[in-house]
Structure 1
Amino acid sequence: MEINGVEIEDTFAEAFDIKVSRVLVTAATKKLAKIAATEATGYGTSVIGCSAEAGIDSYIPPGESPDGRPGYTIMICNPTKKGLDHELLERIGMGILTAPTTAVFDALEDPDEKLNVGFKLKFFGDGYEKDLEIAGRKIHSIPIMSGDFLIESDLGIKDGVAGGNFFILGDSQGSALLAAQAAVDAISAVEGVITPFPGGVVASGSKVGSNKYKFLDASTNEKMCVTLKDEVEGSQIPADVNGVYEIVIDGVDEEAVKEATRAGIEAACKVPGVKKISAGNYGGKLGAYQIKLHELF
């Protein structure tokens, strides 16, 4: 199978279950909302080493937000309900409550349940907090130096999908990188997904465990390293490929991840120099979801 002359390997991306929350961060200006959203989703690339996988989902214009201000939806993901509750408290409390003019609203459709994150954060008000209602939502108003910080009392969580992925193989590092950036731009238009790695692009694809160091949970994927293609037995790098990047996608459900994968691959295949699209899996041993590339088109 080919798209614009680019080979799409007959393989699948192996994804796994994760707990997901999606919240809306609003502020007086788009810039201030973006700053707060960025702070709250920092250090959130992979649960291999980070306490959560997190990222910015989409921009919400003033006319579509509960308080009539610009904002960004963000997603925060953790393997457990307890872990996600902790991450929401810390990331909102330290990354958003501390930012100028911000407010936080639940933005998850059809949640499995809700966590009383806003209720817990209201105690920062030290007894001066108040309850109010905005657009039918129960809101806690917490007095801070610059005014009041507003947060919805309960934030929804649900079982989402993490680890959707695909590899972009290019004839050079430059072509592969341009294609990866084009893929991330296309994916950003899909609601309900994030690409949690820096700029949405994974430079250091990994495998589970290690061939040599038993204390490692993950190590470099040597079969996909371009500088090792002539050294490693079973290298998956063709002779004409000199650059590889991976896109990792987390979503509120499997369909959102599939839609994002399709959009990203289509965009990547429009970039000159891209030779092949593949995906990472562990033979079905890692996760319950198999996103088969050929079935996306």
Structure 2
Amino acid sequence: MIINGVMIDATFAEAFPMKATRLIITAHNAKWAMISAQAFTGFATSVIACGCEAGIERVLSPEETPDGRDGVAILIFAMGGKGLAKQVETRAGQCILTSPTSALFAGIDSDKPIALGKNLRYFGDGFQIAKVINGRRYWRIPVMDGEFLTEETTGMVSAVGGGNFLVLAESQGQALAACEVAIEAMQQQADIIMPFPGGVV
């Protein structure tokens, strides 16, 4: 098949079943929401050595977030539910709880919840406060800049990871340019991430 003058061989592309969740990070402004998201998704290129695959899905406007602030949606994938839950909790505690003005919300609903703020609340040393709003439990955890708000759980869903395609070109520069254009096109889509550096490996 030829599309836009490019020969495409529709053949095998690696893919495998995974478990995933989507989180929404908000902050005082878009800069700090992105800083939190980048910290959380750092060193998450492959489940082989990183424990999960994670990346930024897209930037969210205040109209799209639970607390009406600037936000970023991230996706996290792992080979199983137990591994996913551990990665979410560890990364949230080290990268979002510690980030100034941040808040953390479930970005997807599911009948299979995993902990989000459920255990992070213990960082409040007994001063944390639970609030139930519209049937959803949140935790307000005191931190140095005020309080960290987090939803108690997030949904876990079945997902697909590892999809790829090979780019063959006459030179390294041409191959890289083609990959960059492909990544730019994929970044316009919702519900996907490209976790390797620049989306290319």
Range into which the TM-score falls when normalised by the shorter chain = over 0.9
Residues 1-297 of structure 1: pairs in structure 2 closer than 5 A: 1-109=1-109, 111-133=110-132, 137-202=136-201
Aligned to 1:289: none
Cα deviation 1:188-217 (Å, max 9, x = unaligned): 111111101011111xxxxxxxxxxxxxxx
- CA distances 1:62-114 after superposition (whole Å, capped 9, x unpaired): 011110001111111111111111101100000111111100111114x2410
Contact 1:118 1:151 in 2 (8 A): yes
Letter in 1 for 2:94: M
Q: Which runs of 5+ in 2 are unaligned?
A: none
SS of residue paired to 1:21: strand
Deviations 1:117-154 (A, max 9, x none): 21111111010001225676321000000110111011
State the Cα distance separating 1:176 from its structure 2 match: 1.3
CA distance in 1, matches of 2:30, 2:136: 22
Count of aligned positions:
201
**Partners of 2:115 and 2:6 in 1: how far apart?**
48
CA distance in 1, matches of 2:115, 2:50: 23
Moved over 4 A (4+): 133-136
3-state SS of paired residue (2:168) = strand
CA distance in 2, matches of 1:79, 1:194: 16
Q: Which runs of 5+ in 1 are unaligned?
A: 203-297
Give the secondary-structure state (helix, strand or coil) at the position aligned to 1:13.
Answer: coil
Counting aligned pairs with the same residue, the percent is: 46
C-alpha distance in 1, partners of 2:8/2:134? Answer: 47
TM-score by length of 1: 0.65
